[in-house]
Chain A
Amino acid sequence: MFDFKDVKYKNIIHISKLTIEAQKVTFVVGESGSGKTTLLRLINKMISPDSGDIYYRGESLSSIDSVKLRRSVVMLPQSPVIFEGSIKDNLLIGLAFSEKPAVSDDELINMLKRVNLNKPLGESAANLSGGEKQRVALGRVLLMDPDVLLLDEPSSALDEETEKLIFDTLAAYTRSNGKTLICVTHSKQAAASYADRIIEMTSNSTEEAVS
């Protein structure tokens, strides 16, 4: 689904060849500074490689309209951004940004259950804890139902139990809906339990794939 060919980005990334397959759960691990987040940003086209090319379904990212791409390849940043307003506003804003129709309150409540957040829709999102904000942001991208989900440390602010619940949800969602999940994590344990494939990034900027 994603093919990297001689991709270089500053001194951070140098990938001569890498393929990320469709409808698989791929985990990206590696020490900090090895370019995990940069890899996701390249795929989401928040940045473009200095040289080389990345192909999405055979088409070079440089020739795909960025906004259109980001609507089917959605990225959740590591520090979740909470917008002004209630939990409901925050869940719906991804749909609004990508010009998709809003969903009913029932579906929103159902989504909060899926991300294991027991809060009323009308509550102000600004007062939530870090872990709760992270789950609201995750619910927001799941509602958009994109083809590809790029998650950057989605469990960094969660306790172990919640982390497991969230990864269960994500893995089940990906597999039962034919979606592609690319997830950056520091937790090798989570990667080992959920991944179809693990990519390890090393700080000398080459990738190696361990299946």
Chain B
Amino acid sequence: MNGVITPQVWQIAVAYVFVVILLIIVRKRGISREKEILIGTLRMTLQLILAGYVLLFLFDNVHPVLTIVTVILMETFAIYNTIKRVKTKLSASIKKIIAFSMILGTLFSLVFFIVVVLGVAPWYDPRYFIPIAGMLIGNSMTGISLGVSRLVDGMRSQRHVIEAALMLGATPKTAAKKYVNAAFDAAILPTINSMVGMGIVFLPGMMTGQILSGTSPVTAIEYQIVIMLGILGSVTLTVIMFVQLAYKSFFNAQQQLVMDEENE
């Protein structure tokens, strides 16, 4: 860890000059975004300070219950955030499917990652469990948000095409296939794109953080590769579960398209 620079409080304060620059620009150009910029900066600062202390506490008090409670809180926040982020109105059953897919998809990948890939012992070691959970849950949240919007908008705007297919004897699965596939594709594309540019255009945040704090770039890269694959797995599982369950909620037991009341 020789030569690692730990930023002092005054150094961090100086970095806020960029916020001031941004504020001056939007003010001069008459773009009314000052409030959001200030709130964003403040929330980023407070949330990270809080997260730092929470992590410090968790690292000092290693206990499976604390790790599990933290992950439950992260999942809850991610599910809430997904539902809030999607602009279209969602039915109660779609919301339940979002929660179910998020929990199952991320937890399965997380356990696989911690136990099989990294072999962390004890499994609940918060130094590994919490940051990796954050990466998987955060990325799955982004993926599923895209998938939800795409599927719900697609099913609603193309309902006459789906109905026409049903009238011709198509099963609901066949009638909805195109929109289910489009939603899945839209949801996984950002993850695939980020893998394409990784290491060339930009160094990912986690890797940058590790390198700055003194870890060998080779170790940082090894972690980054497995983390990326973990993210890919988690996003894939979460989204495929969501689209497979969600399209069915648009049909009733009589294989009729139901979009009135709840779904409209």
Q: Indicate if the CB atoms of B160 and A94 lie closer than 8 Å.
A: no
Q: Indicate if the CB atoms of B168 and A144 lie closer than 8 Å.
A: yes
Q: Which residues of A contact B175 (CB under 8 A)?
A: 97
Given contacts A48-B254, A97-B174, A81 and B164 within 8 Å (CB-CB): yes
Interface string of A71-85 (1 = CB under 8 A from B): 100111101010100
Interface flag for B166 (CB, 8 Å): yes
**A148: min CB distance to chain B, Å:** 12
Interface string of B184-202 (1 = CB under 8 A from A): 0000000000000000000
Q: Indicate if the CB atoms of B169 and A71 lie closer than 8 Å.
A: yes
| A66 interface neighbour in B161, B163, B174, B256, Cβ under 8 Å | B256
Q: Which of A70, A71, A76, A99 has most chain B Cβ within 10 Å?
A: A70
Interface flag for A98 (CB, 8 Å): yes
Q: Indicate if the CB atoms of A94 and B168 lie closer than 8 Å.
A: yes
A-B contacts at CB below 8 angstroms, number:
56
Q: Which residues of A contact B160 (CB under 8 A)?
A: 77, 79, 81
Q: Indicate if the CB atoms of B169 and A46 lie closer than 8 Å.
A: no
Q: How far is the CA of A115 from the CA of B227 in the complex (A)?
A: 59
Instruction: For the complex, count residues of A whose C-beta is within 8 A of B.
Output: 26
Given contacts A77-B160, A81-B161, A66 and B254 within 8 Å (CB-CB): yes
Interface flag for B66 (CB, 8 Å): no
Given contacts A77-B160, A77-B163, A45 and B256 within 8 Å (CB-CB): yes
Q: Which of A46, A76, A83, A97 has most chain B Cβ within 10 Å?
A: A97
**B21: min CB distance to chain A, Å:** 49
Q: How far is the CA of A118 from the CA of B164 in the complex (A)?
A: 24
Q: Which of B164, B167, B254 has most chain A Cβ within 10 Å?
A: B167
Q: How far is the CA of A76 from the CA of B165 in the complex (A)?
A: 10
Given contacts A46-B256, A47-B256, A79-B160, A140 and B169 within 8 Å (CB-CB): no
Q: How far is the CA of A141 from the CA of B168 in the complex (A)?
A: 7
Which positions 149-184 of chain B face chain A at CB distance < 8 Å? 160-161, 163-171, 174-175
Q: Which residues of B contact A71 (CB under 8 A)?
A: 169
Q: Which residues of A contact B257 (CB under 8 A)?
A: 46
Q: How far is the CA of A188 from the CA of B170 in the complex (A)?
A: 33
Of all chain B residues, the one with the shortest Cβ separation from A66 is B255
Q: Which residues of B contact A94 (CB under 8 A)?
A: 168-169
Q: Which residues of B contact A16 (CB under 8 A)?
A: none
| Interfacial residues, chain A to chain B (CB-CB below 8 A) | 44-48, 62, 65-67, 70-71, 74-77, 79, 81, 83, 93-94, 97-99, 140-141, 144
| Interfacial residues, chain B to chain A (CB-CB below 8 A) | 160-161, 163-171, 174-175, 254-257
Selected A-B contacts with CB under 8 Å, 21 pairs: A45-B254, A46-B166, A46-B256, A48-B256, A62-B254, A65-B255, A66-B255, A67-B169, A67-B171, A70-B168, A74-B168, A75-B167, A77-B160, A77-B163, A79-B160, A81-B160, A81-B164, A98-B168, A98-B169, A98-B170, A144-B168
Closest 6 CB pairs of A and B: A98-B169, A71-B169, A81-B164, A97-B170, A66-B255, A75-B167
